[in-house]
Structure 1
């Protein structure tokens, strides 16, 4: 067998240049996703320890920055099928940068900032090099790889510079760099999305989104289990154990409504703004999911008749309302499914209204009432569509039998 025919020595190739290409995620990409389990957990811990407007803003900026680093690397792997030895070694270096970012999160507003900023810059520099490599090898003959490589290289310098700039200017520099990346994708006529070769494997990207969503939502399990184990499961009263179980079910239902209605869904077209909406909706969906996961830690902090911890309740209610709106946003931008007949915008708005009503009454009712209201907002998103679908299909089956 010639070396170029073996995956470990085959040069990267744009998926449009291959006769046959699968949509599934390669194990190297899955391993890269693995480190994000730790990152999401530590981000959730940061938010839990800084339940304030400033704390939430810092958490949100960090999440957006890390998400875009993950997403840009994922886009490269979706465009160019890369499995050779050198690519694997490059990805191992990118994993190390993510490890350093994760370790710096607890102290990111202090002495950990330089470590985070430099690791983030290195991460983006590696993505720039991946594109540069395809251009240097002649894999990409258009200006796509060359342009993206140049953009990421220049922005890596910006991110590295932020490591040595005093607060608060360093945060603004980071934010401006993140915004610049997205503008370089979206700007009319000159943006990357205008290039005809910028066509990621949509099935591959939708699978990457689904896998990361599992990691992000699963952070809620971490929060519940770690919080209860720290308190001592043998010390709490039965009502807290009931709340604990309710929290676990809530995490499961979050995944259920994602995968039944939008998970692994491909955009309905290759139109630029359809792709942008699909992309951004997943970003805010995952941000909302972390908010819910952190809020669920409050389940083991109060019994039935105590008020739900207010700060946890606020991010939980707002997170759920945002999560449902993002599901609807994604639903509008993907191919139509049978399930969309029953998960209508009205159903989503019922859940949003219940979540916001829960937020309004939460300070004035015991946690058992708050849980019933919040749980109704979430579970209605499964109960209503499934019930409607059942009776609709029964009627259609009976009509066909006549």
Structure 2
């Protein structure tokens, strides 16, 4: 579900990075597209039952609107290549497929829907026929990087909401001080997730316009945000146990895998963007230390108190900012003194 909705957001962002449209009609079209996203989100809790029809039709409408945006660009005569026309045609066809799945029986509807989602990426990336092969496909990368950064804040921010809602439903006055301490640690962890993103890759532009660089930058952000969601969900376990009980295992596994994936995606993006001074200190070795420690924590979790589990997991996360910042401080101070 996350990947599906992310592609809807990303494809709309691609249009807005390729073409600048600010007229009233465009604003009204975007308002309609926002409504489709609302229906999609409201349908997700019941998507395996009666909610599927609403989700699939809303998604089809969302794709149809994106198709129309490209078609309108072509009709207005502001596009001299076949880019807008071909993209519009692709999305119109896919919208029909998505709408059809609303009336198909399970599990076939999921397979067809999933194949159509995959087809979106194939139509972008396929050699010779893919949209990326069109020389006009030059998104404003600064615009896209800002959108990625904004969405990352929203996605990671869900971790804050998950923590707060879980504790508020349980009753803040009912928990012992150790649970409250775990709750605060979870909030700090969410903050550090944002910190390491913005210090090392946030608003970073791809180092070149090569097809593989753009595709990697794109997909790495998808996996980064998916892993951020996993960590946000897992942190709800912080208010389900005190210091001396084991961390809830299912939450712990999701959190450890999510953190490992988040750091690997961060490194992937780092390799795809323009070099920064911070990259001197946030090396692949630093990232791999966090990845390995996060994964090693998984088999340990059921056998130790959550205090120890948080210490291990927290070390994997906080080391990603503590080590680079400390090393940068001493290294740059020494270089400045010697200059």
User: What is the total number of aligned residue pairs between the two structures?
Assistant: 339
Partner of 1:334: 273
| Alignment equivalent of 2:229, drawn from 263, 269, 290 | 290
| Alignment equivalent of 1:222, drawn from 161, 173, 181 | 161
1:97-149 deviation line (CA, Å, top 9, x unaligned): 00100110110000000000000000000000000000011111210000000
In the alignment, the residues of structure 2 paired with residue 93 and residue 134 of structure 1 have an alpha-carbon distance, to the nearest angstrom, of 18
Q: Name the SS of the counterpart of 1:81 in structure 2.
A: coil
Partner of 1:26: none
Are 2:210 and 1:252 equivalent residues in the alignment? no
Structure 2: give runs of 5+ residues left out of the alignment: none
1:159-200 deviation line (CA, Å, top 9, x unaligned): 001111111111111110011010000011111001111100
Are 2:244 and 1:308 equivalent residues in the alignment? no
In the alignment, the residues of structure 2 paired with residue 222 and residue 171 of structure 1 have an alpha-carbon distance, to the nearest angstrom, of 30
Question: Taking structure 1 as the reference length, what is the TM-score of the superposition?
Answer: 0.84
Partner of 1:31: none
1:188-246 deviation line (CA, Å, top 9, x unaligned): 11110011111000000000000000000001001100000000000000000000000
Partner of 1:91: 30
Partner of 1:44: none
In the alignment, the residues of structure 2 paired with residue 360 and residue 399 of structure 1 have an alpha-carbon distance, to the nearest angstrom, of 47
Deviation at 1:395, TM superposition (A): 1.4
Are 2:97 and 1:158 equivalent residues in the alignment? yes
| Alignment equivalent of 1:77, drawn from 11, 16, 20 | 16
Are 2:328 and 1:389 equivalent residues in the alignment? yes
Partner of 2:294: 355
In the alignment, the residues of structure 1 paired with residue 140 and residue 299 of structure 2 have an alpha-carbon distance, to the nearest angstrom, of 43
Question: Taking structure 2 as the reference length, what is the TM-score of the superposition?
Answer: 0.99
Q: Name the SS of the counterpart of 1:312 in structure 2.
A: helix
Are 2:46 and 1:107 equivalent residues in the alignment? yes
RMSD: 0.5
Partner of 2:304: 365
Structure 1: give runs of 5+ residues left out of the alignment: 1-61
1:34-77 deviation line (CA, Å, top 9, x unaligned): xxxxxxxxxxxxxxxxxxxxxxxxxxxx1111000100000001
Are 2:65 and 1:126 equivalent residues in the alignment? yes
In the alignment, the residues of structure 2 paired with residue 394 and residue 88 of structure 1 have an alpha-carbon distance, to the nearest angstrom, of 50
In the alignment, the residues of structure 2 paired with residue 139 and residue 64 of structure 1 have an alpha-carbon distance, to the nearest angstrom, of 32
Runs of 4+ in 1 over 4 A off after TM superposition: none
